[in-house]
Amino acid sequence: TKLNFSSALEEERHVRANDRDYNERFSYADNRIKTAKYNVFTFLPINLFEQFQRFANAYFLVLLILQLIPEISSLSWFTTIVPLVLVLAITAVKDATDDYFRHKSDQQVNTRQSQVLIKGKLQNEKWMNVRVGDIIKLENNQFVAADLLLLSSSEPYGLCYIETAELDGETNLKVRQALTVTSDLGDDVAKLADFSGEVICEPPNNKLDKFTGTLCWKDNKYSLDNEKMLLRGCVLRNTEWCFGLVIFAGLQTKLMQNCGRTKFKRTSIDKLMNTLVLWIFGFLICMGIILAIGNTIWEQKVGSDFWEYLQWKELTINAVFSGFLTFWSYIIILNTVVPISLYVSVEVLRLGHSYFINWDRRMYYSRKDTPAEARTTTLNEELGQVEFIFSDKTGTLTQNIMVFNKCSINGKTYGDVYDEFGHKVDITEKTPCVDFSFNPLMDRKFRFHDSSLVEAIKLEEPLVQEFFRLLALCHTIMPEERNEGELVYQAQSPDEGALVTAARNFGFVFRSRTPETITLYEMGQAVTYQLLAILDFNNVRKRMSVIVRNPKGQLKLYSKGADTILFDRLDPSNEELMFTTSEHLNEFAGEGLRTLALAYKDLDEDVFDEWMKKLLFASTALDNREEKLGALYEEIEQGMLLLGATAIEDKLQEGVPETIACLTLANIKIWVLTGDKLETAMNIGYSCNMLRDDMNTVFIISGHTMLEVQQELSKDKFSSGLDMEKTELYSSDSVFEETIIAEYALIINGHSLAHALEADLEQILVDVACLCKTVICCRVTPLQKALVVELIKRHKRAVTLAIGDGANDVSMIKTAHIGVGISGQEGMQAVLASDYSFAQFRYLQRLLLVHGRWSYHRMCNFLCYFFYKNFAFTLVHFWYGFLCGFSAQTVYDQWFITLFNIVYTSLPVLAMGLFDQDVNEQYSLRFPNLYRPGQLNQLFNKRKFFTCTLQGVCTSFILFFIPYGAFMTAVRDDGAHISDQQTFAVTIATSLVIVVSVQIGLDTNYWTAVNHFFIWGSLAVYFAILFAMHSDGIFTIFPNQFPFIGTARNSLNQKIVWLVILLTTVVCIMPMVAVRFIKADLYPTQTDKVRLLQQATRKQGPQEQNLRRVRRTSSRRSAYAFAHQQGYGELITSGKNMKVPTSSTSTYPLSSPTRGLTGTSSASICKCFRHQKH
C-alpha cells in the first residue's frame, strides 16, 4: 500500500529556500491535490474505455457486431442496442456525478489561502500554488498547508504548538521547536526573504514520526529531525504565527503518503456475478456448439433432402459451414441468458438502497443536523455481510470529552439524582442542572445534576472544601486568562482538565500559577499558596502530590492517585472511611467511570525541612536519581487522610456499548485500532463492554523485538493450548472456534504490531487474534491500521468494515471493504474517503443490521430471480432447436424478446429489490443473528445460482413441451388450424409472462402498493402491448415489422390456448411451492421463524422492544493511568514553560511528547531552556 510516485528515483531531496528556479530542477510535486479521475474532455473516452473493460459490456458490443451480419443475424439489431445504450448512459451519468463531487472537494482544498513569501513580500496564494522551497506564514488555528520545516514562531525559543488530530487522532497539543539560528529570523520578512539555507533530507515517505535531514546555511550544518517539522493536516494552536519552509508538497506530504491508494471497491457479489457471467458464457458456448453440431447433422441428413423447398442462396455452402453460422446465430439468440439489464437493474437497486440510507431519519443526528449519507452507491449489499469491524476510538467510540461525573467525599456520594420517593433517576438531557450562578468564574459548559454538593459547599463543610481545594491545587495544568474571568485551562490530560474545571465551578477556581505559587479564588476570595514541591506522577507511582503552604502558614500535602496505591498509604484511623469509599469506588467503576482517590496530610515544619534537604540532595545525585527521588516521595506520602474519590466519565458516544453488544450478537467481530495509549484503550474497552472482568485472560503483547513478540504470541497460544488441542481433535473448527472465542481478549501495541505484521508472524497473529473475542490495537500508525485490515482481508476472506473520524483513519477506511466516516466533526478527511458517513457510532447498528441486511437480502433474491427468469425465457429456444432443424428460429416474436427484460418483467423485480423486507426493522434489530446468513454467503452463492438456473431450465422445458404436446394436433374451435408458429409463440410468451409474474409474487415478501401496481401493471402492459402490436393499425403502417397481426385475437379467444397456459403455469409453479413449503416447514431458517413470530405479534398489535441496557461489570481503573505523562512537575517548578516572567497570568500550554517524538521529550526542551536562561 506504499505510495511512491516520482520518489522511486529520488534518493535525497535538496530544497533551497526562496529559490524556485533551483528547486524546479527536481520537478517535485506541487501542492495541488487531485483525486478526480476525469475532466470534461477526457470523460467520454476514458469512461467508455473503462465501461468496455467490463466483461459484460464488451460482450454485448461483440453481439451487436455479430447481429449486423445478415447470414447469422437471427435477431434484429435493436434487441441489443437499446439496452446497451441504456446501460452505458446510466453508468456514465453516475460516474460523472461522482467525479463532479470529487472535483468540488479537490477544488475546495486546493483553493484554501495561505501566505507565501514571494519576492520579499507576503502574498496570499492558493494552496495549490505553493511550491517546495517557499516560505509560508501560518497563523493560529490554521491548517498546515504542506510539510514544513519550522523556521521561527511568535513564541519564545521558536516553540510552536500543533494539534495532530487529523494525522494520528491524538487531540493533545504537541510542541515543535525551530533551530535557534532560524528562530532568530523572527517575523522579519526581509531577513526571511534573504534566508537561503539548503535542506538535504530523505525522500518523501509515509513515516509520520521520523524525519532526517540537514540544513546548510552560511557554511554551517544543522541536523534536522521530526521535532522541527510541521506536517500537512496539523493545526497550529496557541501560537500567533510561525514561518515554515515547504519541504514536501501535495501528494508527497506525509499525510497524503499515508492515505493509501484509492481503490475501486467491488462487492463480493459483484465478483461472484462476474464469475457467474463467465460460467454462463461458457454454458452459452456449449449450447451453441451442441446446436451447431445438431445443425450440421440435420443439414446432412434432412436438410439436403429438403432442398427443393429451401435452397441456400449460394449453392456452395456445405453442412459444416452452415453449422458454423448456426453457432453464431444461436449465440445471438441465446445471449439473453446473460441479461444486460441485469447490470442496469443492479445499479438501480443499489442507488435506491443508498437513497433509503440517506433518507433514514433514525440515522439522522439532529444536534449536528447531519443525516446519514451513502457516498458510494455500489457497496450496499456488502453491508449485510460484514464480519469484522475495525473502529477508531477517539471521536468514534468516545466523544473525547471527560466529564466530572460523581464523587465521594468523606463517605458520602454525590452525583446521583433521586426523585421524591428516593428512587434513583436516570440522568438525561432534561434533568435539571445545578445552578452555579453564585460563581462568576464558572465554566458554563460544566453540568452537574446533584444539588446537594453545592449545598454542602455553601454550608462550608471543611472536608468538602478541602476536597475541592485539593483538586484545584494538585495538578500540572497551565491556566490562560485572556480577558478578565475568561479562563482557559491547558491540560495535558483531559481527565485533569475535568477535575480542575469541576473545582472551579464549585467555587475553588484555579486562576494562575508561577513556579513558586498557585493562586486560587476560593468562594470569591483570592488565596495564594506557596508551591513547595511537586511529587510528580509516573507509571509506577500512579499518583501525584503537591506540598503547599497556605496563607495561614500551614504545610499541607495533597495527593491524588489510583485507589489501590493510595489506600496503602493511609493513616490507620481511616480504615472505616476507606471501606465506605472503596464501596463507592466499586459502584463508580461498575458504571464505567474512571476513578481517583484523594488524600491529604498536614506536615510538620521540622519533618518537612528535613525531607526537603534530602530531596535537594537526591535531585543532584548523579546515579539512581529516579529511584532515590521515588523513595523520598514514598517516605513523605505516608499516613495520609482520605478525603474521598472522584469519578470521571470518558464520555462514550450515545449507545456505544449497546451497539457493540448488538453487533457482537450478530457475530461481527469488533477490533479497536487506536493511536492512544494502552491504558486509555483498555479503559474504553472496559466501558464499551468489550473487555470484561469475567474474561479468562486478557493478553497484552508489548514486546519490542521480533523475538519477544513471537514468544508472547506463542505463549498465548500455549495457554489456550488445551482448547487448541480440542480443536485439532474434533477439527470441526467452526463450532469450536465459537466456544473458544468467548474467553479471551488480545491487546497489542504499535511496536509489537510492527513485528507481528511481518510475514513470519502474521499467520500466528491472525490465528491468535481470531481466537479472541476482543482485539485492541493501541499506539498504531495510520498505515498500520490499514495493514491490520489488509491482513484480515487476506487471511480470513471476510468482509471488513472500518469506521473512524479522523485523517488518521483514512488509510484504513480506504483499505477495508467498506469505509465509514463519522461526520459532523471538525475534520472531513475521513468522511471524504469513506463510503458511508453518519454522525454517531450507534447508527452502525442500523446501517448493518437493517439496511445492510435488507440490501443483501434484496440483492440476493433479485439475482436468483433474475437468473431464473432469463434461463426460463431463453432456453425455450434451445428446446425448439431440436424441432426446427437447429436453424436458430426464435420461438418468440422479436418484439417480445426486445421488451421482455426491459418492460414486461423489469419493474416487479425492481420493486421487489427495492422494497422487499423479509423481516421488519424492529425484528432485524431484535434478532441480530438474522445477520448470520449474510456473513455465510447463504442467500446467493454458486449453489444457489445452480438451483435457480436449474429451476429456470426446468421451467423453460415445461414452457416448451406442454404447448408442444397440446399443439401437435390442436385446431381451433372453428376448425381452422392453430398450431402455427405465431400462435405457438403467443401461447408460450403469455405462459412465460404469467409464470414469471407468479414467481415474483412468490418471491415478494412485502407487497407494498408499488409491488401490486408493478406486478399487475406488468401483466396488463404485456397484454396491452401484445394486442397493440398484433393490431391491424400498426400492421398497415409497418407490415414488415409487425407480421403477427391478428395472432393475439385469434389465439387468445380459444379455450384450448388458455387451458394450455393454465396447465403450464401450474406445472411450473407448484413444485416450487411444494419445495419451499417443505423447507420452511421441516427446516425453518431463522428468518422463517422470525417472520412467523412477527406475523403472530402483528396480530396482537405492535409492541415496542427496548434493548436491554447493557450491564457493565468492570473493575476499578484509575484515571491516573490514562493520560498522564511524567516530567511536568519539574517543568512547572523550573518555570521553563512560563512565558516571559513579567506576565504570570498568560502562560503556555504544554504538550505531551507522545510516541512520534522519539523519546526526546519535554525534558530535553527543559534542558535547553535551562541553558538559555541561566
Site for another protein in 982-1001 (CB under 8 A): 982-985
Q: Name which of 369 and 419 has its Cβ closer to another protein.
A: 369
Among 423, 797, 1055, 1111, binds another protein (CB under 8 A): 1055
Q: Name which of 739 and 1036 has its Cβ closer to another protein.
A: 1036
Q: Name which of 85 and 1107 has its Cβ closer to another protein.
A: 1107
Closest by CA to 885, choosing from 217, 323, 448, is: 323
Among 53, 483, 525, 1040, binds another protein (CB under 8 A): 1040
Question: Binding residue per annotation — 927?
Answer: no
Rounded-to-integer distance, Cα 56 and Cα 270, Å: 12
Q: Say whether residue 738 binds another protein (CB under 8 A).
A: no
Interacting positions 21-80 with another protein (CB under 8 A): 74
Among 43, 1006, 1013, 1023, binds another protein (CB under 8 A): 1006
Question: Binding residue per annotation — 294?
Answer: no
Rounded-to-integer distance, Cα 997 and Cα 1015, Å: 7
Among 362, 423, 444, 1174, binds another protein (CB under 8 A): 362
Strand ranges of the sheet holding 669-673, from the earlier edge strand across to the other edge: 373-374, 836-838, 818-822, 799-804, 386-391, 669-673, 774-778, 744-749, 697-701
- Tell me the β-bridge partners of 744: 697
Residue 294, CA distances (Å) to 123, 304, 319, 322, 874 in order: 81, 14, 10, 11, 18
Pairing type for strands 386-391 and 669-673 reads parallel
Q: Are 807 and 828 in contact (CB under 8 A)?
A: no
Using the contact rule CB under 8 A, the part of the chain among 16-24, 489-497, 613-621, 1077-1085 near another protein is: 1077-1085
Interacting positions 847-906 with another protein (CB under 8 A): 854, 883-885, 887-889
Q: Give the H/E segment covering residue 680.
A: helix 678-687
Question: Binding residue per annotation — 779?
Answer: yes
Using the contact rule CB under 8 A, the part of the chain among 510-518, 528-536, 673-681, 969-977 near another protein is: 969-977
Residue 1110, CA distances (Å) to 693, 772, 824, 929, 951 in order: 15, 21, 27, 18, 47
Interacting positions 1092-1111 with another protein (CB under 8 A): 1092-1093, 1095-1096, 1098-1099, 1102, 1104
Q: Say whether residue 621 binds another protein (CB under 8 A).
A: no
Interacting positions 391-430 with another protein (CB under 8 A): 429
Q: Say whether residue 10 binds another protein (CB under 8 A).
A: no
Rounded-to-integer distance, Cα 733 and Cα 932, Å: 17
CA angle (1166 as vertex; 1161, 1169 as ends), nearest 5 = 135
Q: Give the H/E segment covering residue 861.
A: helix 853-881
Using the contact rule CB under 8 A, the part of the chain among 185-193, 532-540, 861-869, 1068-1076 near another protein is: 1068-1076
Query: Three-class SS of residue 621?
Result: coil
Q: Say whether residue 836 binds another protein (CB under 8 A).
A: no
Eight-state DSSP code of residue 304: T
CB neighbours (10 Å) of residue 367? 10
Query: Interface mask (CB under 8 A) for another protein, residues 244-283, using x and -?
Result: ----------------------------------------
Q: Say whether residue 977 binds another protein (CB under 8 A).
A: yes
**Core vs surface per residue 196-229: b (16+ CB within 10 A) or e:** ebbbbbbebbbebeebebebebeeeebebebbbb
Q: Name which of 1 and 922 has its Cβ closer to another protein.
A: 922
Rounded-to-integer distance, Cα 517 and Cα 511, Å: 11
Rounded-to-integer distance, Cα 917 and Cα 605, Å: 78
Query: Three-class SS of residue 579?
Result: helix
Which residue shows C-alpha cell 504538550? 1151
Burial class of 604 by CB neighbour count within 10 A (0 to 12, 13 to 18, 19+): exposed
Interacting positions 551-590 with another protein (CB under 8 A): none
Q: Note the Cα 854 to chain centre separation in Å.
A: 20
Rounded-to-integer distance, Cα 592 and Cα 685, Å: 10
Give the three cell numbers for residue 127: 494552496
User: Nearest distance from residue 671's CB to another protein, in Å?
Assistant: 25
Q: Give the H/E segment covering residue 497.
A: helix 494-505
Question: Binding residue per annotation — 974?
Answer: no
Using the contact rule CB under 8 A, the part of the chain among 360-368, 529-537, 538-546, 612-620 near another protein is: 360-368
User: Nearest distance from residue 715's CB to another protein, in Å?
Assistant: 35
Q: Say whether residue 354 binds another protein (CB under 8 A).
A: no
Q: Name which of 372 and 1157 has its Cβ closer to another protein.
A: 372
Using the contact rule CB under 8 A, the part of the chain among 747-755, 798-806, 1045-1053, 1129-1137 near another protein is: 1045-1053
Q: Name which of 9 and 1082 has its Cβ closer to another protein.
A: 1082
Rounded-to-integer distance, Cα 615 and Cα 621, Å: 10
Interacting positions 925-954 with another protein (CB under 8 A): 926-927, 929
Closest by CA to 774, choosing from 390, 243, 382, 323, is: 390
Question: Binding residue per annotation — 501?
Answer: no
Question: Binding residue per annotation — 393?
Answer: yes
Q: Say whether residue 1148 binds another protein (CB under 8 A).
A: no
Among 1035, 1133, 1134, 1145, binds another protein (CB under 8 A): 1035
Long-range contacts of 728-737 (CB under 8 A, 24+ apart): 737/770, 737/771
Question: Binding residue per annotation — 350?
Answer: no
Question: Binding residue per annotation — 79?
Answer: no
Which residue shows C-alpha cell 431463453? 874
Among 1049, 1110, 1130, 1145, binds another protein (CB under 8 A): 1049
Q: Say whether residue 1056 binds another protein (CB under 8 A).
A: yes
Q: Are 208 and 810 in contact (CB under 8 A)?
A: no
Question: Binding residue per annotation — 147?
Answer: no
Binding residues for another protein, how many (CB under 8 A)? 112
Question: Binding residue per annotation — 301?
Answer: no
Q: Say whether residue 436 binds another protein (CB under 8 A).
A: no
Strand ranges of the sheet holding 147-153, from the earlier edge strand across to the other edge: 121-126, 113-118, 135-139, 241-248, 147-153, 229-230
- Would you mind telling me the total number of residues written for the chain in this entry? 1174
User: Nearest distance from residue 182's CB to another protein, in Å?
Assistant: 47
Among 433, 707, 936, 1074, binds another protein (CB under 8 A): 1074
Pairing type for strands 478-481 and 744-749 reads unpaired
Among 186, 921, 1110, 1163, binds another protein (CB under 8 A): 921
Among 1046, 1113, 1141, 1160, binds another protein (CB under 8 A): 1046
- Tell me the β-bridge partners of 175: 161
User: Nearest distance from residue 311's CB to another protein, in Å?
Assistant: 5
Q: Say whether residue 967 binds another protein (CB under 8 A).
A: yes
Which residue shows C-alpha cell 535551562? 1170
Question: Binding residue per annotation — 676?
Answer: yes
Among 310, 459, 622, 1140, binds another protein (CB under 8 A): 310
Residue 204, CA distances (Å) to 146, 229, 892 in order: 12, 13, 65
Among 266, 412, 972, 1112, binds another protein (CB under 8 A): 972
Q: Say whether residue 667 binds another protein (CB under 8 A).
A: no
Catalytic residue set = 392
Among 420, 975, 1171, 1174, binds another protein (CB under 8 A): 975
Using the contact rule CB under 8 A, the part of the chain among 110-118, 570-578, 1054-1062, 1114-1122 near another protein is: 1054-1062
Interacting positions 1014-1033 with another protein (CB under 8 A): 1032
Mention every residue, 6+ apart, whose C-beta is less than 8 A from residue 255.
147, 166, 167, 231, 232, 233, 807
Q: Name which of 903 and 1025 has its Cβ closer to another protein.
A: 1025
Q: Say whether residue 980 binds another protein (CB under 8 A).
A: yes
Q: Are 243 and 155 in contact (CB under 8 A)?
A: no
Query: Three-class SS of residue 56?
Result: helix
**Residues placed in the known binding site for ATP:** 392-394, 496, 537, 560, 594, 674-676, 779, 785, 808-809
**Residues placed in the known binding site:** 392-394, 496, 537, 560, 594, 674-676, 779, 785, 805, 808-809
